[in-house]
């Protein structure tokens, strides 16, 4: 990927951009194999490569500059404001939307927030696009409600200029700190969900729900999990009960579950659970229960295990307590998707009752040291 921001030294966010892409992928695979070597995986599948540009369908832009000349991008290590409106990581469609956002900032009088001076209103612009429909979700992160009326007043102009805008909201983040968003979200459009579709599975994204930044790679990840589970069932018999912990909007569970299976999805965010329920209903799945609960608390209180447990924890991993509960419940099969191979290795060490069958790397974050890993584990000494 050719990036003038990286070459000029103004943005070094893609810290591995100096490496040819084949070398990046090789280095990630080598690191993963070293980390998981103690667990003697029966099969390490070849990594899934990423597109090298235009793959990020979610942008988090700091709003800098002035009201008349807003900047959407980052503050680099030298303290300079860098406008990344045409960053090559994003689809080409993002550039035009960012330019409309700048015009809207001027029109609505949304003064960029100055952290040092603690002045201004607009902190971030968060933009997502559906790969399936091309529609957008746009969020303005404001310090207070002072400019809310102005945003509402001028929103019809923005909707007219950008008819592809499906969902628009204001998030309130009053703290004088570099926090991305606050708890309160005010949806300004009639629709509050951005429809996505991966592998014929409908998914619905809300302003505050987590979703992968690269939908193409997310589709490959979900489909691989479904394929592994199907292969397993052909050999071992059908699963009656599936649990999906840290389920988000239901991506894994909805890919794995058939009409005859029971699916329980657990996610702490109520908005994500509402989205998952919407998808399950559209798919005609009736034996599905999505609940807005803490995954660790749910496992701790559970008395009986599912046939297949799916986990997709945050970067910190499962942790000792949840690993202990998984060992106590003793599901026969475990699909573990991780965005942090170091915490994955720690969890595998704690899950001593399980053997590692399959491992595959998905390069969700090209030009960086980060990646996603899917693993399949089997309980030892199954009865």
Q: List the strands of the sheet with 184-187, edge to edge.
A: 81-83, 70-75, 58-65, 122-129, 136-142, 165-172, 184-187
Distance between CA atoms of 298 and 290, rounded to whole angstroms? 12
* DSSP code at position 277: H
Q: What is the DSSP string of 216-265?
A: HHHHHHHHHHHHHHHHHHHHH---SEEEEET-TTTHHHHHH--TTSEEEE
Q: Which of 11, 168, 247, 339 is catalytic?
A: 339
Distance between CA atoms of 82 and 299, rounded to whole angstroms? 45
Residue 193 three-state SS: coil
Q: b or e along 160-192 (b: 16 or more beta carbons within 10 Å of the residue's beta carbon)?
A: eebeebbbbbbbbbeeeeeeebbeebbebeeeb
Written as six digits, the tokens of 76 are: 């680099």
CB 15 within 8 A of CB 26: no
Dihedral sign for Cα 151, 154, 155, 158, please: negative
339 noted as active-site residue: yes
Distance between CA atoms of 168 and 152, rounded to whole angstroms? 10
Question: Burial, 111: exposed, middle or buried (Cβ in 10 Å; 0-12, 13-18, 19+)?
Answer: middle
CB 312 within 8 A of CB 337: yes
- Active-site residue set: 339
């Amino acid at each position: 990927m050719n990036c003038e921001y990286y070459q000029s030294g103004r943005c070094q966010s893609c810290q591995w951009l100096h490496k040819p892409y084949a070398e990046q992928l090789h280095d990630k695979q080598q690191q993963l194999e070293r980390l998981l070597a103690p667990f003697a995986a029966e099969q390490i599948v070849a990594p899934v490569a990423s597109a090298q540009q235009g793959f990020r369908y979610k942008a988090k832009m700091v709003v800098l500059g002035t009201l008349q000349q807003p900047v959407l991008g980052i503050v680099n290590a030298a303290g300079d404001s860098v406008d990344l409106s045409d960053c090559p990581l994003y689809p080409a469609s993002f550039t035009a939307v960012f330019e409309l956002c700048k015009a809207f900032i001027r029109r609505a009088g949304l003064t960029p927030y100055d952290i040092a001076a603690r002045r201004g209103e607009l902190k971030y612009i968060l933009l997502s696009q559906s790969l399936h429909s091309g529609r957008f979700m746009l969020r303005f992160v404001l310090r207070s409600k002072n400019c809310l009326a102005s945003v509402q007043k001028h929103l019809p102009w923005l909707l007219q200029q950008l008819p592809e805008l499906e969902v628009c909201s204001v998030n309130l983040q009053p703290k004088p700190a570099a926090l991305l968003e606050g708890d309160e979200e005010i949806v300004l459009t009639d629709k509050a969900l951005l429809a996505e579709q991966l592998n014929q599975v409908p998914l619905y994204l809300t302003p505050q729900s987590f979703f992968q930044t690269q939908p193409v790679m997310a589709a490959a990840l979900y489909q691989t999990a479904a394929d592994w589970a199907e292969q397993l069932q052909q050999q071992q018999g059908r699963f009656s009960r599936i649990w999906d912990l840290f389920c988000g909007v239901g991506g894994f569970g909805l890919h794995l579950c058939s009409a005859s299976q029971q699916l329980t999805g657990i996610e702490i965010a109520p908005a994500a659970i509402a989205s998952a329920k919407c998808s399950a209903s559209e798919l005609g799945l009736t034996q599905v229960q999505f609940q807005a609960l803490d995954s660790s608390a749910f496992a701790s209180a559970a008395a009986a295990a599912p046939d297949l447990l799916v986990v997709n924890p945050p970067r910190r991993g499962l942790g000792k307590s949840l690993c202990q509960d998984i060992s106590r419940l003793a599901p026969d099969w475990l699909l573990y998707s991780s965005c942090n191979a170091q915490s994955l290795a720690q969890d595998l060490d704690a899950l001593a009752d399980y053997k590692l069958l399959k491992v595959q790397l998905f390069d969700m974050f090209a030009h960086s040291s980060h990646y996603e890993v899917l693993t399949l584990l089997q309980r030892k000494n199954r009865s």
